[in-house]
């Protein structure tokens, strides 16, 4: 049921290479996936969080007593780009403690076919529970207030957390809206800021029409909200590392607007500072 979000990503746009979008996985197919365990040079502290009958890894970076932010992965998994975002967040004034929960339990998609398959197999309500447990871990370990942010798949889950996780104090979502069977944004209980690219053509997930529909739903919720649309920007426009730019180009996204990225980070910083200050 919730795999609909993945189907939207795979069927609605030419962003995925046609050969990848049509890929079928034979029985016994072995993914080229890799663990993202921290190396000696990594700024991250690897921890384990337990919830219900499962335990998952998470990666923490930032000041111990700072406001916390759960940083939720794209469909790729806990890869270089989501870690780049978490480090960036930890360094924003006045300082935040960022935590990335590993929703895929150590797996990372190395191309769009793998990422699509991993996202299709995700237990979305279980992912919300992982986020909930991550918020609680941060609050139990020095963060008086905790926000949630995410990108693509993680953006959708971030908005879902504003509905389903009462302990969340603020949300910033990038280019992703949850399927209605997971969460209804009209029921949001935490302030939500959302960012979308004008050229995003993931129809029903992060295109402009979906962004404007989200705005109306957030208005109905009664919580503080902002929805920003960036002219000339496509999906995943925040991914500006060399590898991230290369990957976007391989998916047909050639836009690059550093000013839009900086503006989005500035808005993110203002929002999280406003609502996470003790």
Q: Give CA–CA dist 154/152, Å, rounded.
A: 5
**Token pair in block for residue 206:** 């992060």
Q: In this structure, what are the phi and psi dihedrals at residue 117, rounded to the nearest 5 degrees?
A: -65, -45
Q: What whole-number distance in Å separates Cα of residue 36 and Cα of residue 126?
A: 20
Is 75's pLDDT higher than 60? yes
pLDDT at site 154:
98
Share of the chain above pLDDT 90, in %: 85
Other Cβ atoms less than 10 A from the Cβ of 268: the count is 22
pTM of the model: 0.89
In percent, how much of the chain has pLDDT > 70? 85
Average pLDDT, whole number, for the chain?
89
97 with 80: CB under 8 angstroms? no
- C-alpha–C-alpha distance, residues 182 and 178, integer Å: 6
Q: Are 75 and 116 in contact (CB under 8 A)?
A: yes
SS (H, E, C) 30-54: CCCCCCCCCCCCCCCEEEEEEECCE
**Quick check: 119 pLDDT over 90?**
yes
DSSP conformation letters of 115-146: HHHHHHT--HHHHHHHHHHHHHHHHHTT-SSE
Residue 2: its pLDDT value, please? 58
pLDDT for res 3 = 53
Q: What is the pLDDT of residue 41?
A: 73
Closest CA to 134 of 106, 108, 158: 158
Give the lowest-confidence range in 4-13, 37-46, 52-61, 229-238.
4-13
Check: CB of residue 108 under 8 Å from CB of residue 77: yes
């Amino acid at each position: 049921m919730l795999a609909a979000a993945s189907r939207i990503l795979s069927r609605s746009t030419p962003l995925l290479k046609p050969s990848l979008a049509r890929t079928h996985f034979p029985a016994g197919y072995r993914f080229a996936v890799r663990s993202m365990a921290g190396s000696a040079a990594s700024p991250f502290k690897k921890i384990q969080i337990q919830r219900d009958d499962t335990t998952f890894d998470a990666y923490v970076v930032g000041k111990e007593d700072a406001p916390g932010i759960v940083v939720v992965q794209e469909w790729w998994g806990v890869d270089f780009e989501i870690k780049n975002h978490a480090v960036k967040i930890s360094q924003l004034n006045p300082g935040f403690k960022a935590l990335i929960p590993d929703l895929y339990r150590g797996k990372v998609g190395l191309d769009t076919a793998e990422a699509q398959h991993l996202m299709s197999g995700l237990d979305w309500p279980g992912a919300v529970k992982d986020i909930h447990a991550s918020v609680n871990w941060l609050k139990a370990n020095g963060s008086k207030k905790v926000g949630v942010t995410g990108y693509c798949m993680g953006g959708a889950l971030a908005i879902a957390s504003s509905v389903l996780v009462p302990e969340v104090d603020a949300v910033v979502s990038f280019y992703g809206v949850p399927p209605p069977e997971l969460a209804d944004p009209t029921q949001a209980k935490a302030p939500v800021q959302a960012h979308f690219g004008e050229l995003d053509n993931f129809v029903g997930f992060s295109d402009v029409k979906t962004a404007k529909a989200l705005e109306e739903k957030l208005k109905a919720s009664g919580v503080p909200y902002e929805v920003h649309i960036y002219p000339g920007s496509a999906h995943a426009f925040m991914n500006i590392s060399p590898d991230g730019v290369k990957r976007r180009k391989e998916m047909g996204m050639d836009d690059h607007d550093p000013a839009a990225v900086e503006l989005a980070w500035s808005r993110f910083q203002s929002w999280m500072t406003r609502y996470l200050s003790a």
